[in-house]
Structure formats: C-alpha cells, structure tokens
Structure 1
Amino acid sequence: MWSTEWSTGNNRRRYRLNLGKIRDCVVYPFFECNLRCRGCFVSKPAGDIGFLRSHPEAFKLHVEPSHLRRLNDWNLKIVTILGGEPFLSEALPDMLRIIKREEITEALEIIRLSNTKTSVYTNSTLIYDKSREELKPVLELIDYLTISIEGDEFWTRKIRGKVWDKCMKALEKARDITNVVLRSSYWNEAYCKCGNQLDYINGGFYCKKCRRFYDDWNEIKFQLGDLLRVIDWANELDIPVEVAPRLGKPPLPTEMAAWFYAALSTKKLADNLLPSYKNFLGLKITCPAGWNRLVLYPDGSLGACQWSYEKIAHIEWDDDLITRAANAWVEKKRLRPECYGCKYADVCYSSCRAAMDYLTCPLRKSKTLESESYNVRIGDEIFHTTKAIAVRNLKLAAKVKPGVC
C-alpha cells in the first residue's frame, strides 16, 4: 500500500502517499453539534435543530458537494464522517450518495458505481426516537454506524450528559438496518465508595479521604474496568467496540497501559486504535496520517491527522500538489526523545502525537506480547494471552468494523 525507501543517515522507513492506493479519508462536513460534551469546543447550528433538519446554510461552514465528488477520484476504501453531529444536516443522505456514486438508470433502478464503504459517527440523540421507516433510507447508505460512548453509563453521563439510554435505543434500532459499532474513549480515573477521586500508586489506588489502598478495581469505580465490562456485554451481542485514549487526559501510566493492552487483547471484537497497541501485539504498525489517510475539512482544506486540525493542502489542488504537501508533512515528523533506543521506534515512530502515549508507552520497556505471554487479571478472572491469541482476536474484529483512530 506504500512505496518504501531508506532515508539518508537514519535507516528509517519512509512512508509515501499514493492517492491511487490511499485507504481512507476522514470528513468533517461541519463542526456544529446538538450536544456540548465536557471539553468540546463546538457550537450549535442556527435555526431549528433536529434529525436531518438543518440546511447547509445554517452551519458556519459546510462541505461542498464538489469536494466530496473529488474523493471518488481516489478509489478510497472507506470514508468516515465525523462532526459535530452528522445527522443534523439535511444534506447527509446526499453526501452519502455522492460518496457511494449512486445513479438512477432509465429503468429507475438505483446502482452504485463505487465500492467505497461509509462510516458515520453519531452521539445517537437525533436518531434514538425515530421509526424504522424514518431511519432506513439514510442508514442503508451507511456501512458502519458508530455510536460514541465513554465507558459505561456513569462515565458517559459524566462526559456527555444523560444520553446513555438514548445510545442504547439507537443501537437496537440501527442493528436491524446496518452494522453498528460502539466507540469509547478511555483514561485513568477512579473513585472510592466515599466519592473521593483516587490516586494511582504502585499498581493500585489510594483514597486520601479514607486512607485506604485498593489493589482490586472491583471495589471501586474505575473507568478502564467499567469499559472492559461494556466490551464483554457488547461482544456477547456480536457488537464490535473500538477504543481510543481521551485527548486532553494524561496518557495511562506504563504498568496500567500494559495491563489494559493485554486485557483488551483477550476480547474477540475489540480494538484499540493506537499504533502502540498494535505494536504491543507485535504487528508493526505506523500511524496512517498523511500517507494512508487524509482529512477533509468543511472549507475544503486537507489535513493529515484528524486530531491536530493542521491544514496542509486543499481538495481543489491537483493530485501532484496534494501528494507533495502530504509527503512533506510526513517527512517533517520527528521521533520523540522518549522513544530513543526503543526497538520498535522505526515502525511505531512515537505512535500518536495527539494522544501523547509515547510518554508512558510500555514498548519502551519491551513489555509486548511479541516477547512474552501475559496472565492478565480482569475482575475476578485470570486470562492468558499471547501474540497468536491477540492477532486472532484482532482479525475477528477487523472483519466487522473498519476502524479509524
């Protein structure tokens, strides 16, 4: 999927953009949303707010149809629509039809000229109370509907408000029409029974108020532990779950990250979207930003990483200019000092700059499934995991979800 060269002096593999073989594009059609989650900067659109109700002119900026049509030139495998909240715009069905390249024949049959898959992320609050008849026309254009949560009901409410029940109702309705994926962020946060926030110390949690040390997270409210329970519940229903670190939160402590990576590797339909997680499994993965993924913004600008919001080109430029701009961005990336000496550095290449997981990455201490097996405790049970088990589980997840970090 990429051409490889060796750069002078540092023996680092170079990843180069090839627009004819690029895997995916992340599209921000607009930034407005009907929710105001903790830490989020977006605003609401003008006028009435509802399911497919807002006209494109109600948004400060809205992606143009011509910009979406340009994506068809690149034979993308998947286009992921983020937000804001995509279901606000009345233009969402037309956007999906453009990506799918739907046309109506003289016999009034609808044909699709593109094999590009579509993935749409949603907070679910605009679709949970809609009937099947209302949802089906638009959900049939979506290959993967991804519903965003933040762990279990407690943590989701803490970040997103009272939306958990709406997410569950939307999940049940959408499952009958399209593929549904749950997406959750994760971070290190835990609370004592007394309500006091706990400090992570020496592999356990300490409550300053109660002066008690916990080494069993079943006795406390722990975000990672609660997320693992949600994954078990979803997997029993054959619903895949993708997780990624919550931006703005400190990366997990090294020992906690190794434990969480090992625990996650035992789940059959779960994936952590960090490159460091894949390399923990021994898969040798580099972040696709700039060379295997581009980002389209509402004004037509192109970026490389969807979390940096850095603009490097424009969709109206010719392919050669876009390619040169993207390759210049990729070449500008530098290995973080924290990764010097790590044997995975030339592939992982500091994993995710936005998440800053390189600060505490377990790979630096050679804590990987490639070098050893793990007996990992999850709740009251002990699970054995190896590279073979982890890769098998990841392949199962890949069959039913597209994955985007």
Structure 2
Amino acid sequence: MTLTTRISLSAAAVLMPLAAVAQEATETAEAAAPGFDQIGPYIMTTLLFLIGGFLVFWMAAGFAMLEAGLVRSKNTATQLTKNIALFSIASLMYWLVGFNLMYPGDGWIVAGYLGTLFSPAVLEPVGLAADAAALDYASVASDFFFQLMFCATTASIVSGTLAERIKLWPFLVFVVVLTGFIYPIEASWQWGGGWLSELGFSDFAGSTLVHAAGGFAALAGAIVLGARVGKFGKDGRVVPIPGSNLPLATLGTFILWLGWFGFNGGSQLAAGTVGDITDVGRIFANTNMAASAGAVAALILSQVSFGKIDLTMVLNGALAGLVSITAGPLDPSLFGALWIGAIGGVIVVYTIPLLDKLKIDDVVGAIPVHLIAGFWGTMAVPFYTEGTSFVTQFIGFASIGIFVFVVSMVVWLILKAVMGLRVSEEAEIAGLDVSELGMEAYPEFTRG
C-alpha cells in the first residue's frame, strides 16, 4: 500500500463521521423548521393586512384630493392641513387607547374599556422565529396597522362636510375624541365581539361602523356649526357654491376607488386557504361593480333630473356605490353588486338636494354618500347573506347612529362653548387659508 493510499484512507476515516454528523444535523433542522403548510397561512394573512392597510392609507390621499377640489381655492390649504393632521392624530389615539377599546377581549362590556392605557399589545419581537406553534393567524402589528386605517377613515368623512367655516383647532380636538373613543367604542360592539355581534348584526367592512358613523358625526357637526355665509338666501333659495378644482376632485375619487379594494378585500381577514383568497377576488370584483353602477346611475339620473350631467353627482355616485356594497361585498353575485351600487348612486342624486332643503350645508356631500348610502348598504345585507335579518340590521344601524350622533353633538356643543367653532364672517369671506394658516394653496391666483 502506497503512502498516498494510506493518506487517502486516513482522511476518509476522519471525514466520513463528520459527514454523518452534518447530515444528521441537516435532517434535524429540516424536521424542526416548519414548512409552508404550517407558516403559509400566517404569512399570507399578514400580507393581506399589510397590502390592504396601505391601500386604505392611500384613501387618505383620496379624501384630501376630493375635498381640496370641492372647496373654493381660498380654503384649499386648510383642507389639506386638516387631512394630514387628522390621520396623524388618529394614529396616535388608536395606539393610545382606541385599539384596546375596540378589542377588549374577555373583559368586554357595552361601553368598552380602556385596557392597557399605552400600547395596544406587545408587538412581535424583531426577527420573530418561525415557530409555527407560537404564531397566531397573523402578525399583531399588521392587524393593528390595518384596523388603524379604518379609524382614520371615519375622521376623514367628517372633514369635508364641515369645510370652509370651522376653526382648525376645535376640529382637531373633536378628531381626538372621535378616533380615541367614539369610533373604537361603537366598533367594539360588532368587531370586538360585543353585543351587536352576539345579536347577529352583520357589517363586513363598515357601511355602518365606519361610514355611517362618520356621517352621523358630520351631521351633528353641521347642525351645530350652521351653513356657510351666502349658502342660503333670505328667501330660502339655495345658492350653489362650486368647487375650485374638479380634476383634483376626480383624481381623489379614483384614489378612493382604488383604496376601497383594500378596505373591502382586506376585511376578509384571512388569505391562508384557497377559499379565503378566492373570496378576496370575489370581493374585489363586487366592489368594482358597485362603484361602476353607482357612477352610471348618478350620471343617467342627473341628466334626467337636471337636464345636464353633473360631474360631482357622478363622483359621489361612485363613492355611494362603494359605501353601499361595503356591508356585504362577499355574498352577492355580480348582478347583485350592480343593483346595490346603482341604488347608492340614486340615493346621492336625490338626497344632496334634500339636505339643501333642510338647510344642512354639507360641502362635499359626505352625509348622503356615507350615512344614507351606508344605511342602504347595511339593510341590503339580508338579501344575500344567510343568518341575517332586516330587524337586526336596523337595530345595529340605529344603535350606532344614536350613540355616535348624541355623543358627537355633546362634544361639538362643548367645543362651541369653550373654544368656539366658527371663524368670523370676515375670516370666512377672506378664506380660511389666510385666517387660519396665513398662507394660500394658490397664491398666484385671485382668491374666489
């Protein structure tokens, strides 16, 4: 036997046990690491929350653009300030108390409870190990992020209604109360496992809990605040006050339309099975159908009613169609989504003039779009969703409406007494951009 052969045999004798140890370690690691079947549902549902959440976040831009386009140019910067401020305040308040009010778990009572004052939950540590046994159905952080977006949306609805005559700081104080307390409490009644959930009330993505709630808060504010200077003549005549930038309002509507796919689709709350992800696709299709039908219905009806097509009616018709399908976007057929959304468009064309007759000044039409179409969408659920009833749906809508309206009214009245709600008539005529901010969105143009 040569020296080379002896060296080779010696090396093999050393390496073979090492190779066996490495193989055993690899097999042990493979056995311990969970496969995609174990962690896949967690990953996919977390992604659904994150993608849905940032789509709903993009709706904040939609509200800002819609409102900036529907107010006069002298009030544009103020509306933009309100929208970025209200979203930021909602983020802080939902973390501070809102999340624990909305999801109190076993300690739930009718009015909710504060729970842990700071921090909604212990978020996952950085680099959480992929131990399937330790994972919930989705990341806590992603769930918190997604639910926060709905809270902020509720406040965005109020902003447009009260535009062009409300002081900035009292409005922001109301946002603190709305996002930290009012919305989380009423939402806990359904989504936090509260009494409406036990009663059998159904609101898939928030036609009542988000949209009608925002509409009721806006209605209370509009009543306390009063109409803009010059909106209603002494003879009762309604004086149209057109917006400054319809291209911007149209862009805002398309942004909201896009964000609504996350709003409704993400509310499936699961994407870990073939059935769940198929349902998300169905929700997307129904959401788009309802929006389209609402826009077309408003387009045709405005032509018939007014002799000309009204673009603002068409924009609000699309949004009303979206609100209408939000309570039940999964169960209807495409035709079902079509007629539900179309009725939303009809509601807008008839109720916007009705508010004018009632001397309620809603600058962007948010009350018809979110409150009244939200009522219709909530009541349409039993047509397609088994186990629901019209009586239960009405009880749910009425209870949330009364709670939000009464509490909001009290808060608005307190703010009016303590801080004052309206700017002066002189400031309103000059524009809130100058009186509230000392700056203008379009400084090169003549204010009008």
Greater relative contact order (CA < 8 Å, ≥ 6 in sequence):
2
Structure with max Cα Rg: 2
More strand by share: 1
More helix by share: 2
TM-score, with normalisation over the residues of structure 2? 0.26
TM-score, with normalisation over the residues of structure 1? 0.28
